Amino acid sequence: MAQQRSRAPALARSSVDERKAKLERIATYLGNDDHRQRLVRALSSDLGKPAVESLLSEVGAVHGHIKYICQHLQRWMEPRRVATPLSMAGTVNYIYYEPKGCVLILSPWNYPFNLAVVPLLYAMAAGCPVVLKPSEASPATTAYLKRMVEELYDPHEVTVVEGEADTAAALTRLPFDHIFFTGSPAVGKKVMAAAAENLSSVTLELGGKSPCVVAPDVDIHKSARNVAWGKFFNAGQTCTAPDYLLVHESIAANYVRALTEALHDYYGSDPRASNSLARIVNRRQHDHLSGLLAEALTAGATTAAGGQHDAADRYFAPTILTRVTPAMRIMREEIFGPILPVLTYRTPEEALAVIHGLPKPLAFYLQANDRNFIRRFLAETSAGGTMVNEFFLSQGNPALPFGGVNNSGIGKSFGYHGWVGFCNERSVLERKFFDLSVVYPPYTDRVRRLVERLHRWL
């Protein structure tokens, strides 16, 4: 940390072109077929990720952010003029963007390359030195990250620290200027408490129970296929995956049938043999999922599809649960796996009551065509982001801010919002002409009358 602090002033002075060149090193590295295939193999080792999912959500996402940052960085870095009120005539006012300083990035295991590298890109673009601590639960990808960073960057500018949870906890107690954490709300609270001891600013990308409301006017077949893809991509181990469905009761039976058919089309009659289904990251997460499922079944839920699992193979079948109630534990905790509870509703008020009974989610999904229905749910709910008739794609648009609300996160990332999160927006006022000497002490009656006239005039 001392080494990075010594380098921080030089990084703060670095030019647009120097910062862009650092980002493009990663693009060039991933453009090498051997490097890219090593990453795909690492992701397969950690999560059983199909190559297509790795290329889409890990490699492709990183390339997209590099391109976007390089296109916009010059404009972001320029001081931004702001309006000058009449009372400050003779001054110019602007916002100067400076890097916050030394940054700690704590990244998770579910998208272990994407969610480590994307915040790293924005921190480097802001001119910050970075300590990156990837998850110990994805060791193959962590090893890949460490090797890549050591080959591309001076450790005084970027370094990867490996270790278990105690290493991450120790790092959060250091006086970093900013901490960027992606993970669960429970751990996010610990990170925020540790950061408070040093008054370090934080960006917390968390999670929660993201709902998907299905209106009665949808194309059932098309909508169900969309939902099944959004939920079971990466075996449901996605912070923005729909955590439960609220389906209008008039179409519920047909909708569940269409979901089951979609699973068969995607993963075959034996999903365990499919090359398109990822695995659960480890035994601990498998046990969490199997426990949620067992409790739900005991409480009266039924499996419309799936339910099979095998800890030894880290396998968990895509599972559709029906007869689920809001009181079940599976509806009180984030699932983070391939189990999709389906609840029904008769009126919008019933669906809203379920949503409002849970903390504000990271993502909110609507499958609907009626504009009034869509507008009502947008107006009467709160979430980090919302997608209508689609999943994931908003995360592919760097122009949209990404982040949660309260329990699902603090601060935003992606695009300008991600870059400015690593910056201090420094206000600057410069006097060009005139001055305020007419109101300097001593405060005579003449000065007082002048100030009174100025107040009336302005």
Residues forming the active site: 205, 239
Expressed in percent and rounded to 5, the helix, strand and coil fractions of the chain are 50, 20, 30
Question: Across 135-239, where does the E strand assignment appear?
Answer: 158-160, 178-182, 201-205, 211-214
Q: Which two tokens stand for residue 222?
A: 């098309």
User: 201 φ, ψ to 5°?
Assistant: -75, 155
Q: Of 297, 292, 211, 207, nearest to 247 (Cα)?
A: 211
| Residue 212: exposure state from Cβ atoms within 10 A (0-12, 13-18, ≥19) | buried
Q: Which two tokens stand for residue 214?
A: 């299905």
User: 91 φ, ψ to 5°?
Assistant: -120, 160
Is there a contact between 225 and 264 (Cβ–Cβ < 8 Å)? no
Q: What is the DSSP letter of 314?
A: T
Output the CA torsion sign for 310, 315, 319, 325. positive
